[in-house]
């Protein structure tokens, strides 16, 4: 993720400063990632912050009766950030943000919604969305990242793991 955020910073310094702007969230817990003042469009600059204290996911795993793939736990324990998106091959991918004081509750809601549509199954774990509305999911056993077309009931392989996906995201098409 460090390489991804470095690439994002380089592009922002070339005039694409919107890459580090996000709508203001009134949750005071996110102040650690915010920089500067809110602009006239109600956006604020943010910076990725490396997480030094691992968040426990045992309660979440117990609640959903699942052991999360290590890559998923690593994703939510690496950085706090407002946006992580880009192009992977021909797909625009937007992954779940990890915000201070919100990472577990937001993820919990994603899991609840996924379970409701998949018959109480968490074989796949949702971590984002693709530009055409497909879900980005991680196979909970193998860690393989796939695009899920819920209406067709299909899954398309896109990356060996979350790290491979992030390492290959591009911000320019």
Q: Tens digits of per-residue pLDDT, 82-126?
A: 889 999 989 999 999 988 876 678 889 999 999 999 887 899 999
Looking at residue 25, its pLDDT comes to 64
Q: The CATH number of 2-167 is which of 1.10.10.10, 3.40.50.920, 3.40.1580.20, 3.30.60.50?
A: 3.40.1580.20
Per-residue pLDDT of the chain (173 residues; tens, 9 = 90+): 899 999 888 888 887 777 788 887 655 555 788 888 888 888 888 899 999 877 778 888 999 999 999 999 999 999 999 889 999 989 999 999 988 876 678 889 999 999 999 887 899 999 999 999 999 999 999 999 999 999 999 999 999 999 999 999 998 74
In whole angstroms, what is the distance from residue 100 CA to residue 98 CA?
A: 7
- Per-residue b/e over 4-38, b at no fewer than 16 CB within 10 Å? bbebbeebbeeeeeebbbbeebeeeebeebbeeee
* Residues whose CB falls within 8 Å of the CB of residue 12, separated by 6 or more in sequence, listed in order: 18, 19, 20
Looking at residue 95, its pLDDT comes to 95
Q: Where are the domains of the chain?
A: 2-167
Please enumerate, as own/partner, the contacts of 106-115 that have beta carbons within 8 Å and a separation of 24 or more.
107/60, 107/76, 108/60, 108/63, 111/60, 111/64, 115/64
What residues does 126 pair with on adjacent strands? 137
Residue 51 burial (CB < 10 Å; 0-12/13-18/19+)? Answer: middle
Confidence (pTM): 0.88
**Cα end-to-end distance, the chain, whole Å:** 20
């Amino acid at each position: 993720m460090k390489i991804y955020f470095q690439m994002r910073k380089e592009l922002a310094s070339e005039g694409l400063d919107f890459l580090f702007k996000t709508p203001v969230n009134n949750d005071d817990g996110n102040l650690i990632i915010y920089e500067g003042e809110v602009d006239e469009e109600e956006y604020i600059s943010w910076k990725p912050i490396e997480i030094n204290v691992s968040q426990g996911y045992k309660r979440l795993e117990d609640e959903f009766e699942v052991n999360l793939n290590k890559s998923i736990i690593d994703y939510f324990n690496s950085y706090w950030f407002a946006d992580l998106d880009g192009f992977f091959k021909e797909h625009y991918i937007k992954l779940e943000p990890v915000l201070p004081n919100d990472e577990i509750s937001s993820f919990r809601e994603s899991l609840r919604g996924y379970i409701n549509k998949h018959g109480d199954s968490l074989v796949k774990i949702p971590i984002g969305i693709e530009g055409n509305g497909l879900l980005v999911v991680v196979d909970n056993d193998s860690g393989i990242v796939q695009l899920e077309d819920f209406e067709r009931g299909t899954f398309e392989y896109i990356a060996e793991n979350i790290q491979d996906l992030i390492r290959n995201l591009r911000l320019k098409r």
